[in-house]
Amino acid sequence: FDGPPPCLQSMDPLLDLRDLPFNLSPVQKKANRVLLQRLNAAQILQHFMRVSKDSGVELVEVVLHEIVTRLTGLATACRQVRVPQKWVGSSVALAYDAGGEWGDKSEEELRASVMVN
């Protein structure tokens, strides 16, 4: 997560070790990575699509529709490859611009901000 929501920031994996007399900053990044890797897909999408008071349900609806459309296209393209591929270890990145004011932007501009790579 680039700019994680407050609920993820509060999930500090090293919380119990804060009172120890040594510096934890070298392992903080790795501990956060391990924490995120242990989340299942439903938890990741829950945090990814967190509705804030600035955004709305309409924003989430448009973004999820665009993500599903693009993932469907990706899955179709992968199934149509004639030569067998080794997909183990492959990753898919999902992103959208959650900042800013969406009230004055069109649906097409919002859909253009969604990235599936």
Contacts of the segment 103-107: beta carbons below 8 A, 24+ positions apart: 107/62
pLDDT in tens, the chain (117 residues): 566 777 777 787 887 777 777 777 788 888 888 888 888 988 888 887 776 655 667 778 888 888 899 999 988 988 898 887 787 778 888 887 766 666 667 788 878 887 777
Residue among 112, 90, 117 nearest 102 (CA): 112
**Cα Rg for the chain, rounded, in angstroms?**
18
pTM, two decimals, is 0.67
Collapsing DSSP to helix, strand or coil, 5 comes out as coil
3 state DSSP class of 95:
strand
